[in-house]
Amino acid sequence: MLPTEPKTLPVFTVVLLSSLYFSQGLPSGFLAHALPALLREYGVAVEYIGLLKLLALPWFLKFLWAPFVDRTEVARLGDQRGWILTMQSALALLILILSFFTPDTLFGSFIILFFLLVLMINTTAATQDIATDGLAVKLLPEKWRGLGNSIQVSGFKAGMILSGSLLLLSVDKLGWSLSFQFLSLCLFVLLVPSYLFKEPSENTQPKRLKDEHCSHYTSNKSSWFDAYRGFFSQRGIRYWLVVLFTYKVADALGSGMIKPLLVDLEFSLTAIAEITFWASICGLIAAVLAGFIYYRLGAKGSLLLFGLLQALGIAAYGVLAKGDLSVDVVIAVALFEQAADGMSTVALFALMMGQCRKDHEGSDFTVQACIQVVMSGLVGALSGFVAKFAGYTTLYMVAGLLGLLALIPVYLYFSNLAQRANANDQ
């Protein structure tokens, strides 16, 4: 039985979740921010940089093994804790392996090995993410999910700052090897809160599906189909799935080309690192504020407002693509876009947690996250080709327009909720 809902969020819960999502931000920052700039600096074509999104295949497919992670304990370390300790240790070792090569070697004759290592990094990070999200849903009572997702997004962004902007600066100043060795060390140190965490023991009785359409028992040996049937049979789920597919489409299309755009505008790696650093700090602060704004405006108002800001922020990069703008303007656009991204992510994740069924938290959150990743990967893979053949300005104007159109499914989703609530009252 789960403990009663606390009046305040325990300090150790904040520390634990912060460390976990900070850890997840480290490899993500490298892959999303540092790597595109490094590849472009070494002359890799933009269309191939866009295709790197396809190496995030494990993030697309992690729903396939999420039920296994949900119901399998690793070395008696706890349902989620064992997976977290194992996967983060493996992730740190993979990052350490990268430090033994040079960029010239990895991006040249060893490019296949590099792609394989990136694929393995994504696989371990995606598996850890299943366990981390499941644990977060369990630890966060409903009234604390706005603030909890602020911790999640801000912690993640803090990790991206270190491995994105600061890693670029470090590679520029200290070299490739020392930079990646430091990143690996950080991942090992961040395991301490997870090691100290004592995961509550679960009820030994078979788990129940709690949603209104499924009242039967599911054992620990339930099939993959059974694990997700309850989720996809929830009332109104079709409206919610459309929101998941479309809400972050503007970010998916535009974000992957931001660093190549800045390189083509002749910004140095150090300048890009500084811009990314301050933009990420702004996004981190905005993510914290988003939890309080979410509490005041509610889910509908927050999702619509933050979605609008997200569309405007990504479209603003279309202005930058024309060139001949001051550094201050570039920084202002980067700050605004990252703030909007942080806020929209907090609101979306809070609603995703609300869709999770009891005892299926990891699987339910994972399948929603996979929908997001599939959309981001497919759209992101096209971004390089759009930039090449239509130009950066067209890319960001189209992305902004798609972001505005994505507000329509949000409105329809909440309208459907209101209609169902009125029907139940009658």
What element of type H or E holds 325?
none
- Structure confidence at residue 133 as a pLDDT band (50, 70, 90): confident
Buried-state track 310-329, b at ≥16 Cβ within 10 A, e below 16: bbbbbbbbbebbeeeeeeee
Most trustworthy range by pLDDT among 67-76, 222-231, 345-354: 345-354
Residues 184, 99: contact at Cβ < 8 Å? Answer: yes
Please compute the mean of the pLDDT values over residues 75-84 and round it to a whole number: 81
The model's pLDDT over 240-284, given as tens digits with 9 standing for 90+, comes to 999 999 999 999 999 888 888 888 888 887 888 788 878 878 888
Q: Which long-range contacts (CB under 8 A, 24 or more apart) does 353-357 make?
A: 353/136, 353/137, 353/140, 353/145, 353/148, 353/149, 354/142, 354/145, 354/299, 355/231, 355/234, 355/237, 355/240, 356/137, 357/209, 357/210, 357/211, 357/230, 357/231
Q: Which of 249, 71, 280, 254 is nearest to 169 (CA)?
A: 280
CATH code for residues 11-199+225-421: 1.20.1250.20
Element (DSSP H or E) covering residue 208: strand 207-208
